[in-house]
Amino acid sequence: QRYFFNHLYANEDSNVNILYIIGEQNGDVHVIQGVDTSYVYYAQELNADLYALEHRFYGTSHPTEDTSIDNLKYLSSRQAIEDIADFIHQKNEEKGGDQKWIVVGGSYAGALSAWSRLKHPHLISGSVASSAPILAQMDFYGYLQTVENDFKNFGGLCYDQISAGLNEALSLFQSEEGRKKLSLLFRLRSAQSF
């Protein structure tokens, strides 16, 4: 998984690390070098090493050979949280000593930051979650619009195939027979079984 680092602000006695989570976009080293952001300021104030971790399936961080439906099951917030924990664990082994980590992110990446801290408090000392949608909501169209734009930018037939699939699912949902077909296809249980 691709990451970027900036060791300009740390001193040899420092054990503080800031990990900026790059959200649904291509990573770039410029996000942690010379930019006027809160996490660069934190690194300067705390004499911390600064890292930025690219999210799986964005940029060049592809854990699978392609983005087939079978492989997209690995594109989830749960996987991303474990990627963050794995990254920190690897860096702790490399650096040794008692390392402290503050995970930072905004929007979806901010939610990942908060959830990572909750799931791995033994690895993560703090979290800064800016504008993080940490409470799930139905029909979160703002996130869907971002993902749609990412698929369009990815190119190829990706966006067209996803759009066609969603339109077909919506069409099937309009009839009882179509809903049964969707239930079988996605192995859904009836509402009474919950």
Q: How far is CA 11 from the centre of its chain?
A: 29
CA distance 112 to 53: 12
pTM confidence score = 0.69
Q: Are residues 74 and 12 in the same domain?
A: yes
Q: What is the pLDDT of residue 190?
A: 64
Last residue of a domain, one of 130, 162, 179: 130
11-25, 32-46, 71-85, 133-147: lowest mean pLDDT where?
133-147
Average pLDDT over residues 166-180: 91
Residue 194 lies in a domain: no
List the beta bridge partners of residue 53: 3, 21
State mean pLDDT over 101-113: 93
Residue 189 vs residues 180, 186, 193: alpha-carbon distances, Å? 10, 9, 6
Q: What is the CATH number of the domain that holds 9?
A: 3.40.50.1820
Give the pLDDT confidence score for residue 138 in this predicted structure: 75
Cα Dmax for the chain: 67
Q: Is the pLDDT of residue 193 over 50?
A: no
Report pLDDT digits (tens) over 36-82: 888 888 999 999 999 999 988 787 777 778 878 887 888 888 999 99
Neighbours of 121 (CB within 10 A): 11
User: Residue 149's pLDDT band (boundaries 50, 70, 90)?
Assistant: confident
Contacts 24+ apart (CB under 8 A), 129-137: 129/105, 130/38, 130/104, 130/105, 130/106, 131/106, 131/107, 132/105, 132/106, 132/107, 132/108, 133/107, 133/108, 134/110
Q: What is the CA radius of gyration of the chain?
A: 20
166 in any annotated domain: yes
- Main-chain phi, psi angles of 84, to 5 degrees: -60, -45
Domain limits at 165?
141-189
**Which residues face 16 on adjacent strands?**
100
Residue 155: pLDDT band (50, 70, 90) is confident
Is the pLDDT at 191 greater than 60, yes or no? no
Question: In terms of domains, do 105 and 125 share one?
Answer: yes
pLDDT above 90: residue 171: yes
135 in any annotated domain: no
Q: Is residue 121 part of a domain?
A: yes
Domain count, the chain: 2
Alpha helices in 96-157 (DSSP H): 108-119, 141-154
Which residue type, as a one-letter code, is found at position 105?
A: G
Alpha carbons 77 and 62: distance in angstroms, whole number: 15
Q: What integer pLDDT is reported at residue 30 of this predicted model?
A: 72
Within this chain, do residues 185 and 103 fall inside the same structural domain, yes or no?
Answer: no
Indicate if 126 and 60 belong to the same structural domain. Answer: yes
Q: Are 103 and 126 in contact (CB under 8 A)?
A: yes
Is the domain of 20 the same as that of 107?
yes
pLDDT at 158: 82
Confidence of residue 115 (pLDDT cuts 50, 70, 90): very high
Residue with structure tokens 């420092």?
Answer: 14
